[in-house]
Amino acid sequence: MTLEVDLSSVLPVLAPLAAAVLLLLMDAALPGRREPHLVVGALGLAAGLVAALPGLRLAVGEARSSFCLAGGWCAYRADHLVSALQVCALGAALVVLVLTWRDWSAPGPGAGAETTGRAPVVTALLLAATAGVVAVPAAGDLGSLLVALELATLPTVALVALVRTTWAADRRARAVDGAVALLTTSLVSFGLLALGAALWVAATGSTRFDGATRAEHPELLVLAAVLLVAGLAFKVSAVPFHAWTPVTYAAAPLPVTAYLATVSKVAALGGLVVVVRALGTVEGTTLVAVAVLAGASMTVGNLVALVQQDTVRLLAWSTVAQAGWVLLPLASLSAQAASAAGSYLVVYVTATLLAFVVLAAVVALGVQARPASLEAQRGLLRSHPWLALPLMLALLTLAGLPPAVAGVVAKVVALRPVLGDETWWLALVAAVNIALGLAVYLRWVAVLVAPAPRRQAGGVTAGQGEAGTGDQAAAAAAPAGDRRRVPVRLWALTGLLTALLVAGSILPVGAL
Protein backbone atom coordinates (compact mmCIF):
# COMPACT_ATOMS: atom_id res chain seq x y z
CA MET A 1 0.00 0.00 0.00
CA THR A 2 1.48 3.32 -1.13
CA LEU A 3 1.04 6.45 0.99
CA GLU A 4 1.67 9.81 -0.65
CA VAL A 5 2.76 12.53 1.76
CA ASP A 6 2.96 16.22 0.83
CA LEU A 7 4.37 18.11 3.81
CA SER A 8 3.80 21.51 2.19
CA SER A 9 0.04 20.88 2.24
CA VAL A 10 0.00 20.12 5.97
CA LEU A 11 2.36 22.97 6.88
CA PRO A 12 -0.53 25.04 8.35
CA VAL A 13 -0.82 22.29 10.99
CA LEU A 14 2.85 21.39 11.30
CA ALA A 15 4.15 24.96 11.74
CA PRO A 16 2.41 25.72 15.07
CA LEU A 17 3.12 22.20 16.32
CA ALA A 18 6.82 22.49 15.47
CA ALA A 19 6.94 25.90 17.16
CA ALA A 20 5.36 24.41 20.31
CA VAL A 21 8.00 21.67 20.48
CA LEU A 22 10.80 24.14 19.77
CA LEU A 23 9.84 26.58 22.50
CA LEU A 24 9.59 23.79 25.06
CA LEU A 25 13.14 22.77 24.13
CA MET A 26 14.15 26.42 24.41
CA ASP A 27 12.67 26.56 27.88
CA ALA A 28 14.98 23.72 28.92
CA ALA A 29 17.98 25.52 27.41
CA LEU A 30 17.00 29.07 28.47
CA PRO A 31 15.08 28.76 31.74
CA GLY A 32 13.45 31.92 33.01
CA ARG A 33 13.30 33.61 29.60
CA ARG A 34 9.93 34.68 28.22
CA GLU A 35 10.23 36.96 25.20
CA PRO A 36 12.06 34.41 22.97
CA HIS A 37 9.31 31.85 23.49
CA LEU A 38 6.61 34.32 22.49
CA VAL A 39 8.58 35.29 19.39
CA VAL A 40 8.90 31.63 18.37
CA GLY A 41 5.17 31.14 18.96
CA ALA A 42 4.31 34.16 16.81
CA LEU A 43 6.62 32.96 14.05
CA GLY A 44 5.01 29.51 14.12
CA LEU A 45 1.52 30.97 13.75
CA ALA A 46 2.69 33.35 11.02
CA ALA A 47 4.38 30.50 9.11
CA GLY A 48 1.20 28.44 9.25
CA LEU A 49 -0.83 31.45 8.07
CA VAL A 50 1.46 32.03 5.11
CA ALA A 51 1.38 28.31 4.24
CA ALA A 52 -2.44 28.33 4.19
CA LEU A 53 -2.78 31.38 1.93
CA PRO A 54 -2.18 29.54 -1.39
CA GLY A 55 -5.28 27.48 -0.69
CA LEU A 56 -7.43 30.61 -1.08
CA ARG A 57 -6.66 30.59 -4.82
CA LEU A 58 -7.91 27.04 -5.38
CA ALA A 59 -10.69 26.61 -7.91
CA VAL A 60 -13.86 24.61 -7.28
CA GLY A 61 -13.02 20.92 -7.04
CA GLU A 62 -9.32 21.49 -6.34
CA ALA A 63 -7.68 20.73 -3.00
CA ARG A 64 -4.28 20.47 -1.33
CA SER A 65 -4.03 16.90 -0.10
CA SER A 66 -1.65 14.73 1.87
CA PHE A 67 -1.49 11.23 3.35
CA CYS A 68 -3.25 9.85 0.27
CA LEU A 69 -3.76 6.21 -0.67
CA ALA A 70 -3.67 4.78 -4.18
CA GLY A 71 -7.46 4.74 -4.40
CA GLY A 72 -7.63 8.53 -4.17
CA TRP A 73 -8.71 8.87 -0.54
CA CYS A 74 -6.70 11.36 1.55
CA ALA A 75 -6.55 11.71 5.31
CA TYR A 76 -5.89 15.44 4.86
CA ARG A 77 -7.70 17.53 2.26
CA ALA A 78 -7.87 21.33 2.22
CA ASP A 79 -9.96 23.05 -0.48
CA HIS A 80 -10.79 26.74 -0.78
CA LEU A 81 -13.25 26.78 2.14
CA VAL A 82 -10.99 24.76 4.43
CA SER A 83 -8.05 27.04 3.61
CA ALA A 84 -10.16 30.10 4.42
CA LEU A 85 -11.08 28.62 7.81
CA GLN A 86 -7.42 27.82 8.46
CA VAL A 87 -6.35 31.37 7.62
CA CYS A 88 -9.09 32.70 9.90
CA ALA A 89 -8.01 30.46 12.81
CA LEU A 90 -4.27 31.17 12.49
CA GLY A 91 -4.80 34.92 12.08
CA ALA A 92 -7.13 35.07 15.08
CA ALA A 93 -4.68 33.05 17.20
CA LEU A 94 -1.90 35.45 16.26
CA VAL A 95 -4.08 38.39 17.34
CA VAL A 96 -4.74 36.66 20.68
CA LEU A 97 -1.02 36.05 21.19
CA VAL A 98 -0.26 39.73 20.58
CA LEU A 99 -3.16 40.71 22.83
CA THR A 100 -1.74 38.69 25.72
CA TRP A 101 1.94 39.49 25.05
CA ARG A 102 2.50 41.69 28.09
CA ASP A 103 0.69 39.39 30.49
CA TRP A 104 2.66 36.35 29.35
CA SER A 105 6.05 38.01 28.87
CA ALA A 106 6.56 39.89 32.12
CA PRO A 107 4.62 41.05 35.20
CA GLY A 108 3.00 44.43 34.87
CA PRO A 109 3.53 47.33 37.30
CA GLY A 110 1.88 46.66 40.61
CA ALA A 111 0.93 43.09 39.63
CA GLY A 112 3.57 41.47 41.80
CA ALA A 113 6.34 39.06 40.88
CA GLU A 114 5.29 36.14 38.67
CA THR A 115 7.82 33.42 39.49
CA THR A 116 6.25 30.39 37.79
CA GLY A 117 7.82 30.98 34.37
CA ARG A 118 4.58 29.96 32.69
CA ALA A 119 5.13 31.75 29.36
CA PRO A 120 6.54 28.66 27.56
CA VAL A 121 3.73 26.45 28.85
CA VAL A 122 0.82 28.72 27.98
CA THR A 123 2.29 29.59 24.58
CA ALA A 124 2.81 25.89 23.79
CA LEU A 125 -0.79 25.20 24.82
CA LEU A 126 -2.03 27.99 22.56
CA LEU A 127 -0.02 26.63 19.62
CA ALA A 128 -1.16 23.04 20.18
CA ALA A 129 -4.82 24.04 20.41
CA THR A 130 -4.51 26.13 17.24
CA ALA A 131 -2.91 23.22 15.37
CA GLY A 132 -5.89 21.09 16.33
CA VAL A 133 -8.30 23.78 15.15
CA VAL A 134 -6.52 24.00 11.79
CA ALA A 135 -6.54 20.22 11.35
CA VAL A 136 -10.26 19.71 12.04
CA PRO A 137 -11.78 21.01 8.77
CA ALA A 138 -9.22 19.08 6.69
CA ALA A 139 -9.89 15.71 8.39
CA GLY A 140 -10.56 12.86 5.98
CA ASP A 141 -11.74 10.21 8.42
CA LEU A 142 -13.34 9.81 11.83
CA GLY A 143 -10.07 9.09 13.62
CA SER A 144 -8.42 12.27 12.35
CA LEU A 145 -11.51 14.31 13.21
CA LEU A 146 -11.76 13.06 16.80
CA VAL A 147 -8.04 13.45 17.51
CA ALA A 148 -7.96 16.96 16.03
CA LEU A 149 -11.03 18.01 18.01
CA GLU A 150 -9.51 16.84 21.28
CA LEU A 151 -6.22 18.55 20.43
CA ALA A 152 -8.20 21.74 19.86
CA THR A 153 -10.10 21.37 23.15
CA LEU A 154 -7.95 19.97 25.96
CA PRO A 155 -5.19 22.66 25.87
CA THR A 156 -7.84 25.37 26.25
CA VAL A 157 -8.93 23.81 29.55
CA ALA A 158 -5.42 24.34 30.89
CA LEU A 159 -5.29 27.88 29.47
CA VAL A 160 -8.40 28.79 31.46
CA ALA A 161 -6.97 27.35 34.68
CA LEU A 162 -3.39 28.68 34.37
CA VAL A 163 -3.95 32.20 35.65
CA ARG A 164 -1.42 34.47 37.32
CA THR A 165 -0.33 33.41 40.78
CA THR A 166 -0.55 37.05 41.86
CA TRP A 167 -4.32 37.13 41.42
CA ALA A 168 -6.57 37.02 44.46
CA ALA A 169 -7.46 33.55 45.75
CA ASP A 170 -11.16 33.88 44.91
CA ARG A 171 -10.30 35.00 41.38
CA ARG A 172 -8.05 31.98 40.85
CA ALA A 173 -10.79 29.73 42.25
CA ARG A 174 -13.27 31.08 39.70
CA ALA A 175 -10.79 30.29 36.94
CA VAL A 176 -10.55 26.70 38.13
CA ASP A 177 -14.36 26.51 38.22
CA GLY A 178 -14.47 27.76 34.63
CA ALA A 179 -11.89 25.20 33.56
CA VAL A 180 -13.82 22.39 35.25
CA ALA A 181 -17.03 23.50 33.50
CA LEU A 182 -15.24 23.46 30.16
CA LEU A 183 -13.62 20.08 30.84
CA THR A 184 -16.87 18.45 32.00
CA THR A 185 -18.80 19.62 28.96
CA SER A 186 -15.99 18.60 26.63
CA LEU A 187 -15.97 15.07 28.06
CA VAL A 188 -19.71 14.74 27.59
CA SER A 189 -19.46 16.04 24.03
CA PHE A 190 -16.62 13.63 23.26
CA GLY A 191 -18.81 10.80 24.49
CA LEU A 192 -21.49 11.86 22.01
CA LEU A 193 -18.88 12.11 19.26
CA ALA A 194 -17.47 8.67 20.05
CA LEU A 195 -20.93 7.10 20.04
CA GLY A 196 -21.77 8.86 16.78
CA ALA A 197 -18.51 7.63 15.25
CA ALA A 198 -19.26 4.05 16.29
CA LEU A 199 -22.73 4.22 14.72
CA TRP A 200 -21.22 5.79 11.60
CA VAL A 201 -18.86 2.83 11.19
CA ALA A 202 -21.71 0.39 11.83
CA ALA A 203 -23.84 2.12 9.19
CA THR A 204 -21.21 2.57 6.47
CA GLY A 205 -18.59 -0.07 7.25
CA SER A 206 -15.83 2.54 6.98
CA THR A 207 -14.24 5.34 8.97
CA ARG A 208 -13.46 7.38 5.87
CA PHE A 209 -15.25 10.49 4.64
CA ASP A 210 -15.69 9.79 0.93
CA GLY A 211 -18.20 12.45 -0.10
CA ALA A 212 -21.64 10.96 -0.76
CA THR A 213 -21.72 8.30 1.93
CA ARG A 214 -23.32 5.00 0.97
CA ALA A 215 -24.95 3.50 4.04
CA GLU A 216 -25.93 -0.13 4.43
CA HIS A 217 -28.14 0.92 7.36
CA PRO A 218 -29.52 4.43 6.66
CA GLU A 219 -31.32 4.66 10.00
CA LEU A 220 -28.03 4.17 11.85
CA LEU A 221 -26.38 6.82 9.68
CA VAL A 222 -29.08 9.34 10.59
CA LEU A 223 -28.62 8.65 14.30
CA ALA A 224 -24.83 8.85 13.89
CA ALA A 225 -25.11 12.23 12.15
CA VAL A 226 -27.39 13.62 14.86
CA LEU A 227 -24.98 12.50 17.61
CA LEU A 228 -21.98 13.95 15.76
CA VAL A 229 -23.78 17.27 15.32
CA ALA A 230 -24.74 17.27 19.01
CA GLY A 231 -21.14 16.62 20.01
CA LEU A 232 -19.87 19.43 17.80
CA ALA A 233 -22.57 21.79 19.08
CA PHE A 234 -20.65 21.97 22.37
CA LYS A 235 -17.68 23.69 20.75
CA VAL A 236 -19.86 26.15 18.87
CA SER A 237 -21.74 27.00 22.12
CA ALA A 238 -25.11 26.03 20.69
CA VAL A 239 -28.12 25.57 22.99
CA PRO A 240 -28.51 23.29 24.97
CA PHE A 241 -24.75 22.62 25.02
CA HIS A 242 -23.87 26.19 25.98
CA ALA A 243 -23.87 26.06 29.79
CA TRP A 244 -20.07 26.22 30.02
CA THR A 245 -19.81 29.38 27.94
CA PRO A 246 -20.82 32.21 30.36
CA VAL A 247 -19.09 30.52 33.30
CA THR A 248 -15.81 29.94 31.50
CA TYR A 249 -15.76 33.25 29.62
CA ALA A 250 -16.20 35.26 32.82
CA ALA A 251 -13.59 33.24 34.72
CA ALA A 252 -10.81 33.00 32.13
CA PRO A 253 -8.20 35.67 31.42
CA LEU A 254 -9.52 38.09 28.80
CA PRO A 255 -7.19 36.92 25.96
CA VAL A 256 -8.13 33.29 26.63
CA THR A 257 -11.80 34.28 26.52
CA ALA A 258 -11.15 35.94 23.16
CA TYR A 259 -9.53 32.71 21.96
CA LEU A 260 -12.48 30.60 23.05
CA ALA A 261 -14.95 33.00 21.42
CA THR A 262 -13.16 33.05 18.07
CA VAL A 263 -10.50 30.45 17.23
CA SER A 264 -12.32 27.55 18.91
CA LYS A 265 -15.44 28.27 16.85
CA VAL A 266 -13.47 27.58 13.68
CA ALA A 267 -12.91 24.01 14.89
CA ALA A 268 -16.62 23.58 15.58
CA LEU A 269 -17.70 24.80 12.17
CA GLY A 270 -14.90 22.83 10.52
CA GLY A 271 -16.14 19.64 12.13
CA LEU A 272 -19.72 20.35 11.08
CA VAL A 273 -18.62 21.03 7.51
CA VAL A 274 -16.73 17.71 7.43
CA VAL A 275 -19.82 15.81 8.63
CA VAL A 276 -22.24 17.59 6.28
CA ARG A 277 -19.99 17.03 3.26
CA ALA A 278 -19.49 13.37 4.15
CA LEU A 279 -23.23 12.81 4.32
CA GLY A 280 -23.73 14.01 0.75
CA THR A 281 -27.50 14.28 0.46
CA VAL A 282 -28.45 14.98 4.06
CA GLU A 283 -31.50 13.24 5.45
CA GLY A 284 -34.30 15.45 6.74
CA THR A 285 -33.93 14.42 10.39
CA THR A 286 -30.39 15.78 10.53
CA LEU A 287 -31.51 19.06 8.96
CA VAL A 288 -34.28 19.42 11.54
CA ALA A 289 -31.79 18.83 14.37
CA VAL A 290 -29.46 21.54 13.02
CA ALA A 291 -32.40 23.91 12.50
CA VAL A 292 -33.62 23.43 16.09
CA LEU A 293 -30.11 24.04 17.43
CA ALA A 294 -29.80 27.20 15.33
CA GLY A 295 -33.16 28.64 16.34
CA ALA A 296 -32.77 27.83 20.04
CA SER A 297 -29.22 29.23 20.18
CA MET A 298 -30.24 32.53 18.59
CA THR A 299 -33.22 33.03 20.84
CA VAL A 300 -31.72 31.99 24.18
CA GLY A 301 -28.43 33.81 23.54
CA ASN A 302 -30.10 37.11 22.63
CA LEU A 303 -32.68 37.03 25.42
CA VAL A 304 -30.10 36.42 28.14
CA ALA A 305 -27.63 38.90 26.63
CA LEU A 306 -30.31 41.59 26.91
CA VAL A 307 -30.08 41.61 30.71
CA GLN A 308 -26.31 41.36 31.16
CA GLN A 309 -24.48 44.22 32.88
CA ASP A 310 -20.95 42.87 32.39
CA THR A 311 -19.54 43.12 28.88
CA VAL A 312 -17.60 39.85 29.06
CA ARG A 313 -20.73 37.93 30.01
CA LEU A 314 -22.67 39.86 27.36
CA LEU A 315 -20.13 38.74 24.75
CA ALA A 316 -20.41 35.20 26.09
CA TRP A 317 -24.15 35.11 25.48
CA SER A 318 -23.58 36.92 22.19
CA THR A 319 -21.40 33.95 21.21
CA VAL A 320 -24.32 31.62 21.92
CA ALA A 321 -26.61 33.74 19.72
CA GLN A 322 -24.04 34.04 16.94
CA ALA A 323 -23.58 30.25 17.03
CA GLY A 324 -27.16 30.03 15.84
CA TRP A 325 -26.33 32.18 12.83
CA VAL A 326 -23.30 30.03 12.03
CA LEU A 327 -25.49 26.90 12.14
CA LEU A 328 -28.36 28.51 10.21
CA PRO A 329 -27.15 27.83 6.63
CA LEU A 330 -26.32 24.20 7.49
CA ALA A 331 -30.04 23.58 8.12
CA SER A 332 -30.64 23.59 4.34
CA LEU A 333 -29.89 21.34 1.37
CA SER A 334 -28.14 24.15 -0.52
CA ALA A 335 -24.76 23.38 -2.05
CA GLN A 336 -23.59 26.77 -0.76
CA ALA A 337 -24.57 26.08 2.87
CA ALA A 338 -21.05 25.31 4.09
CA SER A 339 -19.58 28.34 2.30
CA ALA A 340 -22.29 30.59 3.72
CA ALA A 341 -21.60 29.34 7.25
CA GLY A 342 -17.87 29.88 6.73
CA SER A 343 -18.43 33.41 5.44
CA TYR A 344 -20.52 34.31 8.47
CA LEU A 345 -17.93 32.83 10.82
CA VAL A 346 -15.11 34.91 9.31
CA VAL A 347 -17.09 38.14 9.81
CA TYR A 348 -18.11 37.10 13.33
CA VAL A 349 -14.52 36.25 14.33
CA THR A 350 -13.21 39.60 13.06
CA ALA A 351 -15.89 41.64 14.82
CA THR A 352 -15.65 39.69 18.08
CA LEU A 353 -11.86 39.99 18.16
CA LEU A 354 -12.17 43.74 17.67
CA ALA A 355 -14.64 43.96 20.56
CA PHE A 356 -12.29 42.04 22.86
CA VAL A 357 -9.26 44.12 21.83
CA VAL A 358 -11.11 47.36 22.57
CA LEU A 359 -12.34 45.91 25.86
CA ALA A 360 -8.73 45.08 26.77
CA ALA A 361 -7.77 48.67 25.95
CA VAL A 362 -10.55 50.01 28.19
CA VAL A 363 -9.38 47.72 30.98
CA ALA A 364 -5.82 49.00 30.50
CA LEU A 365 -7.01 52.58 30.98
CA GLY A 366 -8.29 51.64 34.44
CA VAL A 367 -10.59 54.66 34.79
CA GLN A 368 -13.20 52.68 36.75
CA ALA A 369 -13.19 50.02 39.44
CA ARG A 370 -15.02 47.60 37.11
CA PRO A 371 -13.88 48.60 33.61
CA ALA A 372 -15.51 45.55 32.03
CA SER A 373 -18.98 46.57 33.18
CA LEU A 374 -21.39 48.40 30.89
CA GLU A 375 -21.76 51.31 33.29
CA ALA A 376 -18.00 51.90 33.33
CA GLN A 377 -18.07 52.44 29.56
CA ARG A 378 -20.77 55.10 29.66
CA GLY A 379 -19.65 58.14 27.69
CA LEU A 380 -16.67 56.35 26.12
CA LEU A 381 -17.39 58.02 22.77
CA ARG A 382 -16.71 61.44 24.32
CA SER A 383 -13.78 60.48 26.52
CA HIS A 384 -11.99 58.06 24.16
CA PRO A 385 -13.56 58.31 20.69
CA TRP A 386 -10.79 56.32 18.99
CA LEU A 387 -11.72 53.33 21.15
CA ALA A 388 -15.50 53.81 21.08
CA LEU A 389 -15.79 54.10 17.30
CA PRO A 390 -14.11 50.74 16.53
CA LEU A 391 -16.16 49.11 19.30
CA MET A 392 -19.34 50.54 17.81
CA LEU A 393 -18.33 49.22 14.39
CA ALA A 394 -17.81 45.74 15.86
CA LEU A 395 -21.19 45.82 17.62
CA LEU A 396 -23.02 47.04 14.52
CA THR A 397 -21.32 44.29 12.50
CA LEU A 398 -22.56 41.64 14.95
CA ALA A 399 -26.02 43.22 14.81
CA GLY A 400 -26.01 43.34 10.99
CA LEU A 401 -26.81 47.04 10.86
CA PRO A 402 -25.40 49.72 8.49
CA PRO A 403 -22.92 51.31 8.16
CA ALA A 404 -21.32 47.95 9.04
CA VAL A 405 -22.19 46.51 5.63
CA ALA A 406 -20.02 43.42 6.25
CA GLY A 407 -22.42 42.33 8.98
CA VAL A 408 -25.46 42.98 6.78
CA VAL A 409 -24.02 40.91 3.93
CA ALA A 410 -23.06 38.11 6.33
CA LYS A 411 -26.62 37.81 7.60
CA VAL A 412 -28.05 37.90 4.08
CA VAL A 413 -25.62 35.17 3.00
CA ALA A 414 -26.55 33.05 6.05
CA LEU A 415 -30.29 33.47 5.38
CA ARG A 416 -30.17 32.81 1.64
CA PRO A 417 -29.89 28.96 1.82
CA VAL A 418 -32.79 28.77 4.28
CA LEU A 419 -35.00 30.99 2.12
CA GLY A 420 -34.01 28.98 -0.94
CA ASP A 421 -35.26 25.80 0.74
CA GLU A 422 -38.44 27.62 1.84
CA THR A 423 -37.92 26.71 5.49
CA TRP A 424 -40.19 29.56 6.51
CA TRP A 425 -40.46 28.78 10.22
CA LEU A 426 -36.70 28.99 10.64
CA ALA A 427 -36.55 32.16 8.55
CA LEU A 428 -39.19 33.67 10.84
CA VAL A 429 -37.17 32.73 13.93
CA ALA A 430 -34.10 34.34 12.34
CA ALA A 431 -36.08 37.51 11.56
CA VAL A 432 -37.26 37.79 15.17
CA ASN A 433 -33.70 37.32 16.37
CA ILE A 434 -32.45 40.05 14.07
CA ALA A 435 -34.68 42.41 16.07
CA LEU A 436 -33.50 40.92 19.37
CA GLY A 437 -29.88 41.23 18.27
CA LEU A 438 -30.40 44.89 17.44
CA ALA A 439 -31.70 45.44 20.97
CA VAL A 440 -28.68 43.64 22.47
CA TYR A 441 -25.98 45.53 20.61
CA LEU A 442 -27.68 48.93 20.35
CA ARG A 443 -28.09 48.84 24.13
CA TRP A 444 -24.29 48.74 24.38
CA VAL A 445 -23.93 51.42 21.70
CA ALA A 446 -26.35 53.66 23.61
CA VAL A 447 -24.14 53.38 26.69
CA LEU A 448 -21.09 54.39 24.65
CA VAL A 449 -22.73 57.53 23.26
CA ALA A 450 -24.46 58.57 26.51
CA PRO A 451 -23.08 61.49 28.59
CA ALA A 452 -20.24 60.38 30.83
CA PRO A 453 -21.07 60.15 34.55
CA ARG A 454 -19.22 62.28 37.07
CA ARG A 455 -16.38 60.18 38.46
CA GLN A 456 -15.93 59.86 42.19
CA ALA A 457 -12.66 60.68 43.83
CA GLY A 458 -10.48 57.87 44.97
CA GLY A 459 -9.69 56.14 41.71
CA VAL A 460 -10.17 52.44 41.27
CA THR A 461 -10.06 49.60 43.73
CA ALA A 462 -7.38 46.98 43.27
CA GLY A 463 -8.50 43.50 42.35
CA GLN A 464 -11.97 44.43 41.07
CA GLY A 465 -13.29 43.86 37.55
CA GLU A 466 -14.14 40.68 35.73
CA ALA A 467 -11.69 40.62 32.86
CA GLY A 468 -8.69 39.40 34.79
CA THR A 469 -5.76 40.46 32.64
CA GLY A 470 -2.33 41.61 33.71
CA ASP A 471 -3.14 45.04 32.32
CA GLN A 472 -6.21 45.21 34.54
CA ALA A 473 -4.24 44.27 37.63
CA ALA A 474 -1.79 47.05 36.84
CA ALA A 475 -4.61 49.49 36.19
CA ALA A 476 -6.30 48.59 39.44
CA ALA A 477 -3.15 49.33 41.37
CA ALA A 478 -2.63 52.74 39.76
CA PRO A 479 -3.07 55.72 42.04
CA ALA A 480 -6.00 58.11 41.75
CA GLY A 481 -5.72 60.52 38.85
CA ASP A 482 -3.21 58.36 36.97
CA ARG A 483 -4.28 58.49 33.30
CA ARG A 484 -2.85 55.30 31.94
CA ARG A 485 -2.13 54.87 28.26
CA VAL A 486 -3.39 52.19 25.94
CA PRO A 487 -0.48 49.90 24.94
CA VAL A 488 0.76 50.34 21.39
CA ARG A 489 0.04 46.73 20.52
CA LEU A 490 -3.67 47.25 21.33
CA TRP A 491 -3.80 50.33 19.12
CA ALA A 492 -2.20 48.32 16.31
CA LEU A 493 -4.66 45.45 16.67
CA THR A 494 -7.59 47.86 16.85
CA GLY A 495 -6.48 49.59 13.66
CA LEU A 496 -5.89 46.32 11.81
CA LEU A 497 -9.23 44.73 12.74
CA THR A 498 -11.13 47.96 12.09
CA ALA A 499 -9.52 48.19 8.66
CA LEU A 500 -10.60 44.63 7.87
CA LEU A 501 -14.22 45.37 8.81
CA VAL A 502 -14.21 48.64 6.87
CA ALA A 503 -12.73 46.88 3.84
CA GLY A 504 -15.39 44.17 4.13
CA SER A 505 -18.07 46.85 4.26
CA ILE A 506 -16.76 48.76 1.24
CA LEU A 507 -16.08 45.66 -0.87
CA PRO A 508 -18.37 42.94 0.51
CA VAL A 509 -17.38 39.63 -1.03
CA GLY A 510 -20.35 37.48 -0.03
CA ALA A 511 -19.88 33.76 0.36
CA LEU A 512 -16.42 32.21 0.41
Q: Which residues contact 248 (CB under 8 A, 6 or more apart)?
A: 160, 178, 179, 181, 182, 257, 260
When the pLDDT of each residue in the chain is averaged and rounded to a whole number, the result is 83
In a domain, 336, yes or no: yes
Domain-embedded: residue 416: yes
Q: What is the identity of the amino acid at 429?
A: V
Residue 372 has pLDDT above 50, yes or no: yes
Out of 113-117, 152-156, 403-407, least confident range: 113-117
Residues 426, 427, 429, 430, Cα dihedral to 10°: 120
Whether 138 is in a domain gets the answer no
pLDDT at residue 421, as a whole number: 77
Give per-residue pLDDT as tens, 302-318.
Answer: 999 999 888 989 999 99
| Cβ contact 508:347 at 8 Å | no
DSSP H or E stretch at residue 78: strand 74-78
Tens-digit pLDDT profile for residues 446-456: 999 988 776 55
Q: Which residues contact 310 (CB under 8 A, 6 or more apart)?
A: 250, 370, 372, 373, 374, 466
Q: Tell me the average pLDDT across 259-278.
A: 88
What pLDDT is recorded for position 471? 43
Q: What is the pLDDT of residue 478?
A: 41
- Whether 32 maps to a domain, the answer reads no
**Domain for residue 5, yes or no?**
no
Predicted confidence (pLDDT) at residue 472 exceeds the cutoff of 50: no
Q: What integer is the mean pLDDT of 166-185?
A: 85
Mean pLDDT of 116-121: 72
- Res 389: pLDDT: 94
Task: Residue 296: give the domain boundaries.
Answer: 282-512
Mean pLDDT of 34-50: 90
Q: Domain count of the chain?
A: 1
- 432 in a domain, yes or no? yes
What mean pLDDT do residues 228-248 have?
Answer: 85
Is pLDDT at 212 greater than 80 in this prediction? no
Provide the percentage of residues in the chain whose pLDDT is more than 70.
85
Residue 239 lies in a domain: no
Of the ranges 193-207, 258-272, 329-343, 351-365, which one carries the lowest mean pLDDT score? Answer: 329-343
Average pLDDT over residues 332-348: 85
Check if the beta carbon of residue 336 is closer than 8 Å to that of residue 511. Answer: yes
Decide: 333 and 287 in contact? Cβ < 8 Å: yes
Residue 55 above 60 pLDDT? yes
Task: Say yes or no to pLDDT of 441 above 50.
Answer: yes
Residue 30: is its pLDDT beyond 80? no
Report pLDDT for 420: 83
